[in-house]
Structures are given as structure tokens and as C-alpha cells.
Amino acid sequence: MKLQWFIMALGLAAMGMTVIKNGAFAGEDSPEKPDSTGVRLEKEEFGKTPDEQTVWLFTLTNAKGMKAKVMSYGATLTALEVPDRDGKIGDITLGFDNLSDYLTKNRFFGSIAGRYANRIANGTFLLNGQTYQLTVNSKPNHIHGGVKGFDKQVWSAEPFEREHEAGVAFMYLSPDGEEGYPGNLKSTVIYTLNNLNELSIQFYAETDKPTPVNLTNHAYFNLAGQGNGDVLDHVLQITADRFTPVNEYLIPTGELRSVKNTPLDFTQPCRIGDRIDDPYQQIQYGRGYDHNFVLNNQDGSLALAARVSEPSSGRVMEVYTTQPGVQLYTGNFLDGVTGKEGKAYHRRYGFCLETQHYPNSPNQPNFPSTILKPRERYNQKTVFKFSVK
């Protein structure tokens, strides 16, 4: 299916840089202006799926040497190469060197999680008087879209280039009933790299029946470089005064609890490892951090969600989003799987900051709604901005 009409309908041609709340950059009022040199885009075949679908890999390279690699299987971010304080480029995302490993060693490395990212309790929800049963793939719950979610689909792809940026638009049509979800859902995910060392991800969706939608990118980061030890020395700040506490199955209880006086208080910069093994029950449930934070900005504008720095490399990553929440996950269940360059990824060798709506929202009426209706458009954006100190 050609993407041209759908991309135009979503306003891709008019897509521009955005003034960002709580830390302006990449906008008309930003003091920093993009380099005049264009961002290069390359396309190559990455392999074929068992049913002979071709998977394409796209490499985006900006004028400062930053690279983002994305592939059509799972609309996955396979690599993100950024400079350290000495200008040395390093890959900071966990993943694999070949398609075969993505097909057989699934860890959601860099993929798009959907139709609903995170957990839905017991794989069920009630919508307009009807109970829907989803695939249960993390007993007793449904997680990240099911057994064959968006991370395991081959997406259509259309690359594009503009003066100061380039990217790829991926599209997938999820049929009515897939993994138990109602409605035919058209989803588009657009990755864009510019010369300000910003990688933006835009998420769009339309449906012909009411359905829950919650899309995110599930990249694992290690700012010291992928496979280079754990992330416990990273310093993290999250702009959230509250979080959604969970039960033993990591399902939110419905409470919005203050982070104050808990190990989940990242309102000021804090080393990730300082309290990751605290006896606090919430930490014990997740074997570390695996929690959704209620971002302070709830008006849907693009705002700062988190800032992470890594002392040895000097790399700094800022995360901006329009979403109301962000899930911090510290790779608590990584088990030594072999990744890129033959490096093993052990427990806590990566962290995720999954911008999202809250887990189990379809069963929590007090959470922001995730129900998309016909003639509405799902529209969210996340930006990862890199610098050094």
C-alpha cells in the first residue's frame, strides 16, 4: 500500500520544527539554528522474514556525525550513534546486528510497541458495553500489543529528505480483531533526524471503530555505549511529582501517588543506582524500576519529560513529549542475551524511557483516556535531544 495519501492526510509535508515548552529548542524562537548542510539518507536491504517479506534498513546521518538507523520490521530503531565529550561517536542503543536475531531474540529493542504499549490487566477491557478479550502474553496480563504486536510486523516505509532534516515514515494497517482489538487501525510512525542532534518520533493513528491506542518506542539506552556495563551511574531527572503504583503483577492500582520520600523521586538529578535495590515494596515488585511516572505537564504540548547524563562519556539525553506519562524501566530482566558486536546485555545494562499513556488505562476511568474513536486522530510526539557536558 502506498503511503502518499496517508502521509499527506497527516500533514507530513507541513511538518516543521516545534517550539518546545520548558526548554525551548528546535523552534523558530530557538537561539540555536540548524546547520545548512542536509541530513543524508541511505537505504539497504536488511534481510527477509520467514514469509519472504523484505525488510529495509534506513540510515540517517546529520552534519555532526550523529546517525539513526531504523528498519521496517517493527518500525525499529536499530542504532543511535552520538558523540561523546571528545567527539567520539558511539552507539548508545541496545539491539542486534542482523534481522535473524530480531526475529528470534525479541526484547522489544528499539521497536514500536502497540496497539497498546505496556500492560492491560487480565487482557480484558469493557468498551461501550462489550467486553473484549485480548491475547494474554505476560500471564495473567496482556503486554505491548500481544503475541504478534506492532513490534513483529513489517511496516511499509517511505523515506523523505528536506534541507535540514531527513527521515522515514512507516505505516501499518492493523486489521479488526488483531490480538483481540476492535477496529481497523491505520498507524504511522515518523522518525526524523535534524542537525541539532535531535531525533523526533511522531505517532499518528486513525480507526473505524472505537479502540484503545497507546504507542511508544521501546529503545533501551546506555549513554556509555551499548554493551559497556550497567546504567547505574547514569544521573536521571524526571519532571514528575507523582507515579502510578502497581500491584505484584505490575498493574497500576489506580492511585496517583506522590514520589516524595520514595525511591521514585527523580524530581532532582539522582544516580539511577542509588535506590534501585531499596526495600520499598514498589521497587521489589519490579526488581528495580518498572514504573509509569505522571508527568507534570498534562496539556498535550511538547514538554521536557526527563534528562539523563552519563559521567564517563559526558553524553546528555533530554526527552521531550506530548504524552502524559513516561515508563522508566531499568532492564531488570535482561539475561545476558548477545547483542551488537557480540556484546552481552546483562541485567540493568540498559534503561528505557517509554513515553506513553498510563498502563491499564482502559480499566481505569480516572486515568487519561486512551480510546480512539472514528473521525478522531491519534497524534503524539517524542523528541530525543543529545548534547555533552
Active site residues: 218, 354
Q: CA dist 61 to 161, 168, 218, 272, Å? A: 11, 13, 21, 30
> DSSP for 265-293?
--SS-EEGGGSTT---HHHHHHTS-EEEE
- Side by side, the strands of the sheet bearing 257-258 are 257-258, 242-243, 290-294, 325-329, 352-356
Amino acid at 139: K
Residue pair 345/336 in contact (Cβ under 8 Å)? The answer is yes
Residue pair 7/188 in contact (Cβ under 8 Å)? The answer is yes
Quick one: which of 81, 144, 154 has its CA closest to 340? 81
Residue pair 307/316 in contact (Cβ under 8 Å)? The answer is yes
In whole angstroms, what is the distance from residue 343 CA to residue 220 CA?
14
> DSSP for 96-160?
-SSHHHHHHS---TTPEE-SB-SEEGGGEEEETTEEEE----BTTBEETTSTT-GGGSBPEEEEE
Q: CA dist 68 to 60, 77, 85, 233, 286, Å? A: 5, 7, 19, 25, 30
* Cβ atoms < 10 Å from Cβ of 83: 19
3-state secondary structure 185-253: EEEEEEEEEECCCEEEEEEEEEECCCEECECEECCCECCCCCCCCCCCCCEEEECCCEECCECCCCCEC
Quick one: which of 358, 310, 321 has its CA closest to 239? 321
Beta partners for 142?
Answer: 120
Quick one: which of 80, 295, 276 has its CA closest to 193? 80
* Cβ atoms < 10 Å from Cβ of 80: 25
